[in-house]
Amino acid sequence: MKHAEVRSALLVAVLAVTLLVLPITYSPPSTASAALNQYVWMKILNTTISSIWVGDANYTVVIVGGCVLAVNTSSSASLWEFAPENATVLAAAVLGMVNTDGLYGISCIVANRSQTYLALLNGSSGSIVWTLPAENTTLLATVANRTGDNFTDLIAVDTTIRLIDGATGRIIWEKALNATGTALTLTNSSLVATSCNDTRILWWNVSDGTLLAQIAFNATQLATWNASAVIALNSSHVSLVTLTNILWTLPVNNAFTAFSLSDVNGDGEAELLVVNSSTAFWVNASSGVLLHRVALNGSIVDAATLPPIWANTSDCGYELVVGNDTVIACLDGAFPQTQRFLWTANLTEATRATSLLHISALAVT
């Protein structure tokens, strides 16, 4: 889940953006011999991708040119687009169910010339369910239900941290950070970590907003590791941080996201997948030892993991979705158990589009 870049200036015109959709034939790897280097699907977008989130095996949510594009994770088919008039979308997150319609909701931060607000979108249509004023809000995360209605809730951060009822948009509690929050992650349903621009990682009780602990660390991004630890990223390092200690630090330049993985190389230990603009790194989570790296051959702006689309016994349990300025690619995570590497793929390979889909998007400078 990282992840939004705040754009400072908005272009007043609505631009027509051409979306080239490239269907790629894919046969799921057999259980006896898993295939490497396979695209599951690819979309070529003639506009800039700001961020990618994957909610589950159904939704890939992408911010392109300031609007939200929902894509079917398995097929790459476009589901809907949210392009607010005279405004731009700064961030988004996929929620679990927030009402009784059985559909997932999409929360997003929307900014226009006069205000910034949170909006909950219907997962089926992209229509607005509720809005909430949210000046300066830049970070979002979903949290298991804390209000007793069995629906997903939302954490939002700016100069405060707030728990918001996902069904109604009601603020349940709000606490001042006394600084601008720059990173956010949930370690479990009862604990949230935020990083502030005064070089602290803060640990909060989700139920009532109590500040539980803080540790000195200048993090630009946080990712969940387990119930009491987070992966902390900055311009030069990746670290594993608990409520009381920094367990290890590994030099990795400008990593912008990291994911917790189960054992993917057969050594019996869990791994981390760390991504920067050009490389994916597999790291032993217990020791911080670098296991393997794969060049992504492109300027990657965001990445996400999702459950395997193709069920087979030799799959590592995850697919990786990556994106740069022109391509979203969903890559098969399967690999032979006897090898330490997983896969590699060339994201700059020349391709020929076979169909067109016209969408509208708000451009940002």
| DSSP conformation letters of 138-182 | -EEEEE---SSSSS-EEEEESSEEEEE-TTT--EEEEEE-SS-EE
In sequence order, what are the residues at sequence separation of 6 or more whose Cβ sits closer than 8 angstroms to the Cβ of residue 136?
116, 158, 159, 180
Specify the pLDDT at position 339. 36
Specify the pLDDT at position 105. 67
Specify the pLDDT at position 6. 23
End-to-end CA separation in angstroms for the chain? 24
What superfamily does domain 19-364 belong to in CATH?
YVTN repeat-like/Quinoprotein amine dehydrogenase (2.130.10.10)
CB 103 within 8 A of CB 74: no
pTM score of the predicted model: 0.68
Specify the pLDDT at position 246. 95
Specify the pLDDT at position 110. 82
Specify the pLDDT at position 103. 57
How far is the C-alpha of 3 from the C-alpha of 258, rounded, in Å?
A: 11
**Two structure tokens written together for 266:** 């057969």
Specify the pLDDT at position 117. 86
Domain boundaries, the chain: 19-364
Specify the pLDDT at position 343. 47
**Two structure tokens written together for 172:** 């349940």
* Sheet of 39-45, strand order: 302-306, 319-323, 327-331, 39-45, 10-22, 355-364
Specify the pLDDT at position 81. 85
Tens-digit pLDDT profile for the chain (365 aa)?
Answer: 333 322 222 111 111 222 222 232 223 333 333 344 455 676 666 565 666 655 555 667 777 667 888 777 777 778 888 888 888 887 777 766 555 555 566 777 787 767 888 888 887 788 888 898 887 777 777 777 777 777 777 888 888 888 888 888 899 999 988 777 778 888 887 888 888 876 889 999 988 999 999 999 989 888 888 888 999 999 999 999 999 999 999 999 999 888 887 766 667 788 888 888 888 888 888 899 998 887 776 677 777 776 655 444 445 556 666 766 566 666 655 443 433 344 444 444 333 222 222 221 211 21
Give the max Cα distance, the chain: 58
